[in-house]
Amino acid sequence: MTQTQSLLRSTLVYCILFVAAAMSVMLYYSATKTVGVPDVAQDEVVSSVQEQEKPAVPAKSDEIRIDRNSQTSNYFCVPMPESVKAEEVILENHYMNEELWVSISSSQPALFRNFYAANSVYGNSGCVVDGRFEAGEERTYLRFALDGVYEYRSIFEDHILYVEFVPPKEAYEKIVVVDPAYGGEETGVTAKNVVSKDITLNIAKALKARFDESDIKVYYTRMDDSNPTAADRVGLSAATKADMLIRIEVSGNENSKLYGTTTVYNSQFFIPGFGNVELADLLEREVVTAISGKAGGLVEAAETDEVIGGATVPAAAIRVGYLTNSQEAILLQREDYIERIADGIYNAVIKAYEEYKK
Cα 158 to Cα 75, 83, 90: the distances in Å are: 15, 11, 16
Report helix angle 335-355 to 196-211, nearest 10: 50
Tell me the Ramachandran region of residue 94: left when phi exceeds 0, alpha when psi lies from -120 to 50, beta otherwise.
Answer: beta
pLDDT for the residue numbered 358: 65
**Beta-carbon-side half-sphere exposure of residue 155 (alpha carbons within 13 Å):** 8
Intervals of the chain under pLDDT 50 = 4-5, 7-8, 13, 15, 17-33, 47-56, 59
pLDDT for the residue numbered 37: 81
Cα 96 to Cα 220, 221, 323: the distances in Å are: 8, 7, 29
pLDDT for the residue numbered 106: 84
- Please, is 151 exposed, middle or buried when counting C-beta atoms within 10 Å of its C-beta (0-12, 13-18, 19+)? buried
186: DSSP letter: B
- Report the predicted TM-score, pTM, of the whole model to 2 decimal places: 0.86
Do 154 and 162 form a contact (C-beta atoms < 8 A)?
A: yes
Report residue 13: phi and psi, to 5°: -60, -45
pLDDT for the residue numbered 272: 87
Rg of the chain over all Cα atoms, to the nearest angstrom? 26
Dist. CA 244–CA 318, nearest whole Å: 13
User: For the segment 12-64, what is each residue's pLDDT rounded down to a tens digit?
Assistant: 545 454 444 444 444 344 444 456 788 898 888 864 444 444 444 554 568 99
Write down the domain spans for the chain. 35-166, 170-355
CATH architecture of the region 35-166: Sandwich (2.60)
Dist. CA 299–CA 249, nearest whole Å: 13
Q: Say whether 5 sits in a helix, a strand or coil.
A: helix
pLDDT for the residue numbered 52: 41
Dist. CA 95–CA 219, nearest whole Å: 8
pLDDT for the residue numbered 196: 98
Do 89 and 104 form a contact (C-beta atoms < 8 A)?
A: yes
pLDDT for the residue numbered 4: 47
* Range 170-355 classified under CATH 3.40.630.40: yes
301: DSSP letter: P
Report helix angle 276-291 to 335-355, nearest 10: 140
List the beta bridge partners of residue 122: 77
Q: What is the DSSP string of 110-124?
A: HHHHHHHHH--BEES
